[in-house]
A and B are shown apart, each in its own frame.
Chain A
Amino acid sequence: MTESTPSSGPNSAPIRGPSVLAILVVPSAEPALRACLSALASQTYAALGVLAIDDGSSDDARELLVRALGEERVIRHDAPQGYARSFDAALALPVAAAADHVLLLHGDAVLDPDAVASLVEATTLAGVERAGIVGAKVVDLNHPRRLRDVGRSIDRFGHAMSPLQSDEIDQGQFDRVLEVLAVDGCAMLIARDVWQAIGSYDERLGADDVDLCWRAQLAGWRVLMTPRARVQHGAQHPDTQQDEPRSDRYEQDRIALASVLKNYGGVTLSWVVPLGVALTLVRLLFLSLGRHFEEAYELLAALGWNIAHLPSTLRRRRAVQRVRAVRDHALHHFTASAGLHIPRWFQTAERILEEQRELDEQDPGASVRGLRRRTASFVSVHPVLVGSFFGIIVGAFAVRALLSPAVLTGGAIPAFPSSPNGFFQELVSGFRGTGLGGSLAASPALAALGGISYATIASTAWAQKAIVIAGPAIATVLCYRAVVRRTGRPGPSVVAAAAYGLSALMLWAVSEGRIAQLFLMTVMPPLVERVDLAFARDEPSDGRWRFTVGLAVTIAVGVASVPGALLAIGLVALFGLLFGTARGRGLVLVAGAVMGAAILVFPFVPTIAGAGGHGLWSGIGQLDPWKVLRLSLGGAPGDWAPALFLPVAALFGLALAGGSRRGQAARAALTGSSALGLAWLSVAGYLPQWATNAPAYAALACVCAVFMIGDGLSSAIGGMERSSFGFRQIGGVLLAIVLGLGLSLQALAAMVGSWAIGDDRVPAAWTVVESAAQGSYNVVWLSGTDGLPFPSPGGDPTGIVSAGGSSVTYGLTDRSGALAIDTGRPLTGSGDPAVRQALADVLSGATVHGGSLLAPFGVHFVVMQEGVVPQSAIDAFGSQVDLELVPSAGLIILRNVVDVPPAGVLHADKATGAIVASSDPDVIQRFEAVPTTPLASNDAGWTGGAEGGNLAVVATEFDGAWQLSGSTAQPQRSFGWGTAFTDVPADVTIRYGDQLPRTITMWLLAIVWGAALWITRKPVRR
């Protein structure tokens, strides 16, 4: 070591202070090395020595170092050791121990001339005792106005947190000495007492500054960042000797966990570790759901590394705790929340306003102009942040009523099972446990619902809220991403996505708690964008194979939630085929994707395709064409005239779209218009059943409108000031006015409106009746054919009974009402036509024994809403001798006198047995109530005591696979569609004997999904 020669500087004097040894580690002769050496030579600080380590460089780094510093000041490593080991090696030299401070310096760090002096100066600042480590303000080597580091904190789990935004410009906002948890190690001044007390870097973690500084803090030293010492630093280099560097995620998690295990005290560890494990599981789930499989693997690998290195970690922990001088809570002011990082743009916005206030006092006229300009500039630079800010405010107000601990009820929200297992049980079950049974498979969407339920600490109630609350936000984000992919303009995309999030359709879906519709609206923007892209001129950027599989996954998600999504996809593809550029390729890709989607939901395909495409049907909607025009399918906040802003703005967008966006905007216009028309025709009953689905068409129309807005805004904003005054300017202003007013009013409606769902929103009449009735039973819900859902908790209609002026829509549920485990699954199988026939018989007025006709379905109540069901239908049901009107306000509730549970053992005489064996409604209507012992349902079927009964009857579709345990009796067809066993034993257990095929099917499905997700996985950042 040799002390440097003092050099003259503009404001420095050759005064000797504490000695500083700069330890320069050079892995290679980067272009910055010359500048680095030059900067060292230019330092104004007198007592500075330099020791360089050539860390196995393979270029001319050593030659440069020797030429600049001399042979004796350069240590050569034959093989790269990394910063940590190199610094360790240097500190082991006596010369390091002789210096009052060491300055750890990277070979690509270029110090300002007075940087070392400023660093040393900071150690002696008045009022700052025990300043052990001092770091510099680090800026980018190539863009010196961009800040790279001004000190860091950590979250509770040891992850480093920087207060800086990406590429944040240095405007002097951090120009004060800051006490921080850690500073950047590219130029770090460490007092001798510090490194001798706590040691150097933990070489296992590389040159991890946070760990080193954290240990210094624990030992009672302060860590400072002084902005007067500025360092320009090149790109970060991984401090590793691995041939293939691991991902950022791996390194961050590995180091964070190791640091936590070493540095936290026992009390803190006792809660941080369990919480960290839980959050890690959640992260794993979300990474998996987001197809970030490699990141998930890296996370697991980081955990594995820490487990494997636990003994060495514990050894180091003992060393750390031995020199501990402060408790953990003394450092809490350096830690940030792990989940919420309030963007610094709040501070920026505040600063703008503060500066503006000062300007206002000087020049009122200029101030307004300045504020406008600066605000516009800020919004244009950070449109996503601004949009998110307003989105959070609107969302927080809007959902405030949904945040209570109670389970959401009302609207059309389906009841969730009591535990997440309920979703998976139904998914893998060989028979349908709801409706009228059957062996058709449940929707794969149940896996997603179950996964979400597990993610919300295994609470299905919270899962329900999470979907309703987060669903619109996620849909809006995905819409933004779709629009920005389409237009390449973030600002217009934010506005377009906001229009989507505040559309009448979205607010209706939220208000009614339409889980499936929210899923559909989440996938619809990327779905339409992808299908559109398939027909576009340019090849998909991610390759045809990956594109097709990705589109298949998206389609599968949509179809699993709302099978009618296929209709929307078909419509987009049709217009792509008619007006697209690459029709052949588009057709191949979309057809391939649809086939892929069919494979991804292959057990569910027969369910959808059954009964002539009945699965695609939805009877929900609004008859008023003016309301359909503004994309409103039902009463909800935002279902008012201002909702018309969306189609109006879309038309302006179409008119303004220019350049390459003209064609796609026109195609979106034609597709959206057709979808709107089909939506109304669906509700009005003009389409065949398989093509009737207003919510799917409306969702498509909504996305098309939003795309048109994005196209128009993108075209209008770009270069407006350079084009001559004309329609573009006028149209742009009008579009801005329409969007401004529309979004504001819709936001207001969302914030102050009352949702149909909430706490205790089930009609009191039904609550009273439902709670008074004992045991299991089914309910038939009836509504008119004008698109209205059933009163809560009946959910949506599953079919229509055509009976002239008495036509009604109907649904059949158990006493809980609509169930989430029936998501995407219609009432199908042989039971559905039978129940429809029974209802038609009643509506025809030919029979007065509707109760007997409905008894085979376990129907105990028929529920209608006053003023919704045609009076002739109400009269028809009211005239049934075995349906008794239950006094109730607002609802018409009829109790079935012929009370047969969904599963029970009948004391049947010969006549009753003959009726049960018959499929003729004329015979079934003679069915009379007989003593019956109900059977309880379980995962495998039903069980209970016969109590002297002799005929077991189950309201589940006949299937030869049903077995009566302890008996050789074969199942028989009851009432033409159900299942019955004669000569039942005293203990009755009815179980499904054909589970294996479904189990195999589900494993295959899991494999198929695994393959699809692996193909479309998101690459990890390295």
Chain B
Amino acid sequence: MRAGGRVLLAIALAVLAIVGASAAERLGTAQPVEAAASTAVSSIWLCPHGGGSDWQGTIEIANPGDAPVEARLHALGRRGPSTVGVVVVPAHGEVVRAVPAAVRGAATAVEIFGGWAAVGWVVRAGGAEHGIGAEPCTSTPATDWSVVDGVTTKNTRSYLIVMNPFASDAVIDVALFLPDFPPVRDADWTDLPVRAGRSIALDLGSRALGASIVGAQVVATRGRIAVSSLSIRSGGGVRSVLGSTVASSRWILPVTGGTGGGTVSLLVPGDTGVRFAAAQLSGSPPQTAGNLTDVRQGGTSTLSEQVTTSGASAIVVRVDAGGLVTANLRAGGAGSDDAATGGTAIPQPAWVVLPAAVGGSRQASLVLVNDGDRPVTARLQLLPEGGGGTGEEITVIVPAAGALGAPSAFLRRDPGAAVLVVADGDIVALGSGIAGADSNVWYAMALGVPVPTHVLG
């Protein structure tokens, strides 16, 4: 190679290095290969249902998949965890299992192996207390929870149920938010330990008595927990609301099976106040919910407003300005019992709606809410106890910006069955149940459990 050639080669290599490095910078790393489908599928469901003397707790597990799954149930309370049992949930079926609920802080953890299943709870008060409460369990243990369903006025006691099914102690800070007062951060509820494998109940009335609505924020500074609210009226009435791990600017609060009277509650956990409105979705065109038009609410506070609903419907809370909120809808039942739901901020295309009432002579209802701008077609299939399904399914069309109740004839085929809802768009599903007769009518609502996309293929 001649001298000129060497110089040219050196220059060429220098240029190549610069161009190559620039290109490499732009190119970035190779796209990693996706993981192969896992053969190990499992999940855990945390059910902070609470309880009381002579209460009955029930865990419902519904399997929408094609293969049976195994469920391992562990009861939590003041003492360490105990295994309730192992059950096999048949494909396209449901299993209902009684669990201990004799203490106020009772909770149940359910491990699911071999597939996916939806899990929910129903508690039925006993002794001097009457009513039922129902909610879906959560599969996402978290550190930050908020719930706004506490009432500490006369005749009502509200509790926070905090469960820690894990092997390490959790430490929590609890802040209570009130309509007219600054937040309460009690020293006893700061750095409060929740021992491993235990569940506790915190009486909101012991820290904020006489409040028409108490919002609570529970932050685990160590460990992971699940939180719910349990409210009991001495005249009869039990309601459960699973806490929320997120705050949002939009909440969909479905309701069905009640008398039409209800209360929308809002928690603004941040310092920034909000301006919000609420609309009611039903079979008719949307309309304003109660007086909730352009409402202003200060930060770190709660608010509750009466609303009236008609049949299967939903209240949609929309924050127009300010921070994020947590919402709740309390609905009155036919008897003295009431029900509540924390709703959801995220509509999904597939849901499993678990029975909200247990026992004989029960009635079920189901509402599908579509807050989108085009109609959604949904297929409904029963997942009965014992599995196998009914083999029949119905199809309904949920109007845009509307709500639709599932045909009662369909639900009457098996009022104790879970319902699999699969839609071609995003919707929200909620079930309610009425049990009992005459003066002992109990009412509960339970939001459906969103089905992950991979479960149904």
Residues of chain A having any CB pair with chain B under 8 Å: 623-626, 628-629, 647, 651-652, 654-658, 662-663, 665-666, 669, 673, 676-677, 680, 683-686, 727, 785-786, 801-807, 838, 840-841, 843-844, 846-849, 853, 879, 881-882, 884-885, 887, 895, 897, 920-922, 924-926
Shortest Cβ distance from residue A1018 to the other chain B in the assembled complex, whole angstroms: 36
Nearest residue, chain B, Cβ from A849: B42
| Cross-chain contact B16 with A673 (CB below 8 angstroms) | yes
Shortest Cβ distance from residue A856 to the other chain B in the assembled complex, whole angstroms: 12
| Cross-chain contact A881 with B32 (CB below 8 angstroms) | no
Q: Report chain A residues within 8 Å CB of B7.
A: 655, 727
Q: Report chain B residues within 8 Å CB of A676.
A: 17
Q: 15 A-B Cβ contacts within 8 A?
A: A647-B17, A665-B6, A685-B29, A802-B33, A802-B35, A803-B35, A804-B35, A805-B32, A844-B38, A847-B38, A848-B44, A849-B40, A879-B140, A884-B168, A897-B167
Q: Which of B13, B44, B167 contacts A884 (CB 8 A)?
A: B167
Q: Report chain A residues within 8 Å CB of B192.
A: none
* CB of B10 within 8 Å of the partner chain: yes
Known: A629-B17, A647-B17. A847 touches B6 (CB 8 A): no
Nearest residue, chain B, Cβ from A626: B21
| Cross-chain contact B10 with A669 (CB below 8 angstroms) | yes
Q: Report chain A residues within 8 Å CB of B20.
A: 625, 677
In the complex, per-residue mask of B127-152: 1 if CB is within 8 Å of any chain A CB, else 0: 00000000000001100000000000
| Cross-chain contact A881 with B10 (CB below 8 angstroms) | no
| Cross-chain contact A654 with B166 (CB below 8 angstroms) | no
Known: A684-B27, A840-B38, A884-B168. A673 touches B222 (CB 8 A): no
Q: Report chain B residues within 8 Å CB of A879.
A: 140-141
Q: Which of A785, A887, A921 contacts B32 (CB 8 A)?
A: A785
| Cross-chain contact B111 with A840 (CB below 8 angstroms) | no
In the complex, per-residue mask of B7-36: 1 if CB is within 8 Å of any chain A CB, else 0: 101100110110011101101111011111
- How many angstroms between the C-alpha atoms of A926 and B83 in the bound complex? 14
- How many angstroms between the C-alpha atoms of A843 and B223 in the bound complex? 21
Q: Report chain A residues within 8 Å CB of B166.
A: 881, 884, 897
| Cross-chain contact B25 with A669 (CB below 8 angstroms) | no
B residues 189-238 near A (Cβ < 8 Å) are 222-223
Shortest Cβ distance from residue B100 to the other chain A in the assembled complex, whole angstroms: 20
B residues 34-87 near A (Cβ < 8 Å) are 34-44, 70, 72
Shortest Cβ distance from residue B315 to the other chain A in the assembled complex, whole angstroms: 31
- How many angstroms between the C-alpha atoms of A849 and B72 in the bound complex? 13
Shortest Cβ distance from residue B349 to the other chain A in the assembled complex, whole angstroms: 19
Q: Report chain A residues within 8 Å CB of B2.
A: 662
Q: Which of B17, B22, B33, B43 contacts A848 (CB 8 A)?
A: B43
Q: Report chain B residues within 8 Å CB of A807.
A: 32-33
Q: Which of B34, B36, B41 contacts A847 (CB 8 A)?
A: B41
- How many angstroms between the C-alpha atoms of A255 and B411 in the bound complex? 110
* CB of B182 within 8 Å of the partner chain: no
- How many angstroms between the C-alpha atoms of A174 and B318 in the bound complex? 100
Q: Report chain B residues within 8 Å CB of A656.
A: 6
Q: Report chain A residues within 8 Å CB of B111.
A: 849, 881
Q: Report chain B residues within 8 Å CB of A843.
A: 35
Q: Report chain A residues within 8 Å CB of B27.
A: 684
Q: Which 8 pairs from chain A and chain B are nearest by CB?
A: A921-B40, A803-B35, A807-B32, A625-B24, A685-B30, A846-B38, A897-B167, A625-B21
Q: Report chain B residues within 8 Å CB of A895.
A: 168
Q: Report chain A residues within 8 Å CB of B407.
A: none
- How many angstroms between the C-alpha atoms of A680 and B22 in the bound complex? 12
* CB of B187 within 8 Å of the partner chain: no
Shortest Cβ distance from residue A896 to the other chain B in the assembled complex, whole angstroms: 9
Known: A685-B29, A840-B38. A654 touches B21 (CB 8 A): no
Nearest residue, chain A, Cβ from B3: A658
Q: Which of B13, B35, B114 contacts A651 (CB 8 A)?
A: B13
| Cross-chain contact A686 with B30 (CB below 8 angstroms) | yes
Q: Report chain A residues within 8 Å CB of B14.
A: 651
* CB of B410 within 8 Å of the partner chain: no
- How many angstroms between the C-alpha atoms of A929 and B186 in the bound complex? 38
Shortest Cβ distance from residue A692 to the other chain B in the assembled complex, whole angstroms: 11
Nearest residue, chain A, Cβ from B112: A848
Residue of B140, B141, B165, B166 contacting most chain A CB atoms (<10 Å): B166
Shortest Cβ distance from residue A443 to the other chain B in the assembled complex, whole angstroms: 30
Q: Report chain B residues within 8 Å CB of A647.
A: 17
Nearest residue, chain B, Cβ from A677: B20
Q: Which of A663, A727, A840, A846 contacts B1 (CB 8 A)?
A: A663
- How many angstroms between the C-alpha atoms of A629 and B30 in the bound complex? 19
Shortest Cβ distance from residue B457 to the other chain A in the assembled complex, whole angstroms: 14
Q: Report chain A residues within 8 Å CB of B36.
A: 840
- How many angstroms between the C-alpha atoms of A628 and B25 in the bound complex? 11
Shortest Cβ distance from residue B15 to the other chain A in the assembled complex, whole angstroms: 10
- How many angstroms between the C-alpha atoms of A522 and B69 in the bound complex? 58
Nearest residue, chain B, Cβ from A884: B168
- How many angstroms between the C-alpha atoms of A802 and B72 in the bound complex? 31
Shortest Cβ distance from residue A423 to the other chain B in the assembled complex, whole angstroms: 37
Q: Report chain A residues within 8 Å CB of B168.
A: 884-885, 895
- How many angstroms between the C-alpha atoms of A629 and B23 in the bound complex? 13
B residues 164-184 near A (Cβ < 8 Å) are 165-168
Q: Report chain A residues within 8 Å CB of B24.
A: 625, 680, 684
Q: Report chain B residues within 8 Å CB of A847.
A: 38, 40-42
Shortest Cβ distance from residue B221 to the other chain A in the assembled complex, whole angstroms: 9
| Cross-chain contact A804 with B9 (CB below 8 angstroms) | no
Shortest Cβ distance from residue A842 to the other chain B in the assembled complex, whole angstroms: 9
Beyond known contacts A625-B24, A628-B21, A651-B10: 14 more, CB 8 A cutoff: A647-B17, A651-B13, A652-B10, A654-B9, A656-B6, A669-B10, A684-B24, A802-B33, A807-B33, A843-B35, A853-B40, A881-B111, A884-B168, A920-B39
Known: A625-B24, A629-B21, A922-B41. A666 touches B33 (CB 8 A): no
| Cross-chain contact B140 with A922 (CB below 8 angstroms) | no
- How many angstroms between the C-alpha atoms of A662 and B36 in the bound complex? 51
| Cross-chain contact A685 with B44 (CB below 8 angstroms) | no
Q: Report chain A residues within 8 Å CB of B222.
A: 887
Q: Report chain B residues within 8 Å CB of A849.
A: 40, 42, 111, 113
Q: Report chain B residues within 8 Å CB of A803.
A: 32, 34-35
Nearest residue, chain A, Cβ from B115: A922
Q: Report chain B residues within 8 Å CB of A920.
A: 39
Shortest Cβ distance from residue B65 to the other chain A in the assembled complex, whole angstroms: 13
| Cross-chain contact B1 with A666 (CB below 8 angstroms) | yes
Shortest Cβ distance from residue B16 to the other chain A in the assembled complex, whole angstroms: 7
- How many angstroms between the C-alpha atoms of A665 and B6 in the bound complex? 9
Shortest Cβ distance from residue A881 to the other chain B in the assembled complex, whole angstroms: 5
Shortest Cβ distance from residue B362 to the other chain A in the assembled complex, whole angstroms: 33
Nearest residue, chain A, Cβ from B1: A662
| Cross-chain contact B38 with A804 (CB below 8 angstroms) | no
Residue of A801, A879, A882 contacting most chain B CB atoms (<10 Å): A879
Q: Report chain A residues within 8 Å CB of B165.
A: 881
Q: Report chain B residues within 8 Å CB of A884.
A: 166-168, 223
Shortest Cβ distance from residue B44 to the other chain A in the assembled complex, whole angstroms: 5
In the complex, per-residue mask of B258-299: 1 if CB is within 8 Å of any chain A CB, else 0: 000000000000000000000000000000000000000000
Q: Report chain B residues within 8 Å CB of A655.
A: 6-7, 9-10
Q: Report chain A residues within 8 Å CB of B141.
A: 879, 881
Q: Report chain A residues within 8 Å CB of B35.
A: 801-804, 806, 840, 843-844
- How many angstroms between the C-alpha atoms of A802 and B40 in the bound complex? 16
- How many angstroms between the C-alpha atoms of A920 and B140 in the bound complex? 25
| Cross-chain contact A684 with B9 (CB below 8 angstroms) | no
| Cross-chain contact A925 with B40 (CB below 8 angstroms) | yes
Nearest residue, chain B, Cβ from A804: B34
| Cross-chain contact B13 with A669 (CB below 8 angstroms) | yes
- How many angstroms between the C-alpha atoms of A723 and B349 in the bound complex? 82
Nearest residue, chain B, Cβ from A846: B38
- How many angstroms between the C-alpha atoms of A643 and B165 in the bound complex? 54
Shortest Cβ distance from residue B70 to the other chain A in the assembled complex, whole angstroms: 8
Nearest residue, chain A, Cβ from B171: A887
Shortest Cβ distance from residue B75 to the other chain A in the assembled complex, whole angstroms: 16
Nearest residue, chain A, Cβ from B23: A625
